[in-house]
Amino acid sequence: MDSYIIKLVLISSLLIIGCDEKKTADGDVIVCTASIEPAIRINVFDKETGFQNACGVTVKLQDGDFIEELSNPASDSCKDDLTFSLADEREGKYDITIIKEGYVDWYQYDISVSSNLCHVNTISIQAYLEK
């Protein structure tokens, strides 16, 4: 019976280690998850067909001196339904550039990402590329 209690305490401890407690302005305790949330998620579509079209796409995200760039090179194993997740746990004001050969470059400016006690408030974007 003692070994069961010890195992239970160890398992409970491991579960709690992955979480972080924060207090609200009212003093309420909130347990934050250990997940890492992106500031921005982007799905890319072909404007004419409406189908997802992420193969061969490069996404550039910028906030002042901060720059992050992700590519999804075209290949036999490329996934057109890829979601680009950028700027993990980073609030800011972002400019986005999306480039794909054969398409007009896509831009969106001044996307504000805020945060709460635990994580950033992720913004989801759908980018429709024109040929």
Backbone angles phi, psi at 12, to 5 degrees: -60, -40
> In angstroms, rounded to a whole number, what is the distance separating the alpha carbons of residues 42 and 82?
9
User: Can you name the residues that pair with 95 across neighbouring β-strands?
Assistant: 62
pLDDT reported for residue 129: 98
Q: What is the mean pLDDT of the chain?
A: 88
pLDDT reported for residue 28: 81
* Domain boundary assignment for the chain: 2-32, 38-129
| pTM of the predicted protein model | 0.81
The three-class DSSP label of residue 3 is: helix
User: Tens digits of per-residue pLDDT, 85-130?
Assistant: 999 999 999 999 999 999 999 999 999 999 999 999 999 999 999 9
User: Tens digits of per-residue pLDDT, 24-63?
Assistant: 678 788 899 999 999 999 999 999 999 999 999 999 999 9
Provide the CATH number for the domain formed by 38-129 in this structure.
Answer: 2.60.40.1120
Max CA distance (Å), the chain: 69
Q: How confident is the model at residue 73 (pLDDT cuts 50, 70, 90)?
A: very high
Residues 81, 93: contact at Cβ < 8 Å? no
The three-class DSSP label of residue 122 is: coil
Q: How many CB atoms lie under 10 A from the CB of residue 109?
A: 10
Q: 30: part of which helix (H) or strand (E)? A: strand 29-32
User: Tens digits of per-residue pLDDT, 44-55?
Assistant: 999 999 999 999
Rg (CA), the chain: 20
> Is the predicted pLDDT of residue 14 greater than 80, yes or no?
no
